[in-house]
Amino acid sequence: MQTLSVLAALCSEPAAWRHGYGIANDTGLKSGSLYPILIRLADRGLVEARWEEEQPAGRPRRHLYRLTPDGLARAKAALAEQALLPHRRPTVAGRRGAAPEGA
């Protein structure tokens, strides 16, 4: 269900570009779990990524992410479906619908 929490974090402000550490803070995920999820989402065209354009002072440029229109629609559907499900262990169908994980 980690993918869902990433989608939820990106969904909260769909227009804003978010950076990895911010999403990690929102979701409580470690970098080793978060980035593979972002990679899969980007591979499937649900998330777009870019580097910060201007070089900020005192720190390296950040890699930024936001949902694509398709990603936003899929994320909303997945989160809505998740909310509808009774609270029990995650189901295969729920996970599949929500989380395009794996290659």
Partner 1 sequence: MHRFTGALAGLLERSAGLLPAARREWAEAVLAEAGEVPAGAGRVAWLCGGLWLVAREAVMGRAMRVLAFAAGAAGLAWIGWPGVSSNSATPLNRVYVTGTVVLLAVLPWVVRRYFGPVRRGWAPRAARVGGYVMVLALIAAKAVKDRDGSKLGAYFVIVPGEWVLEIVLLLVIAGCLAGLLILTSQRIRLTRPGLPVGIGAGAVTAGALYALAPLGIGFILFFPLDPESSLGSLWGLVSLALPLATGFLVARLAARDTRPGVLAPARKGCLAASCATATAALLLAVLTSVTIALFPHHVPLQNPPPPSGGGCETCDPNNTVIPPGLRHEYWAELSVGQAGSTAYAALLIAPFLGAGLGALGARLASKSPGTRGRGGGGPHAASPPALSQPLAGWASDTDREQVIGVLKAAFVLGGLTKDELDARAGLALTAPTRADLAALTTDLHHHPRPG
Q: Which residues bind partner 1 (CB under 8 A)?
A: 19-21, 24, 30-36, 38-39, 49, 51, 59-63, 81, 84-85, 91-94, 96-97, 100-103
Q: Would you list the DSSP string of 61-95?
A: PPEEEEE-HHHHHHHHHHHHHHHHS-SSSPPHHHH
Task: Give the integer Cα–Cα distance in Å for 75 and 54.
Answer: 30
Q: Shortest approach of partner 1 to residue 64 CB, angstroms?
A: 9
Q: Shortest approach of partner 1 to residue 49 CB, angstroms?
A: 8
Q: Which C-beta is closer to partner 1: that of 16 or that of 96?
A: 96
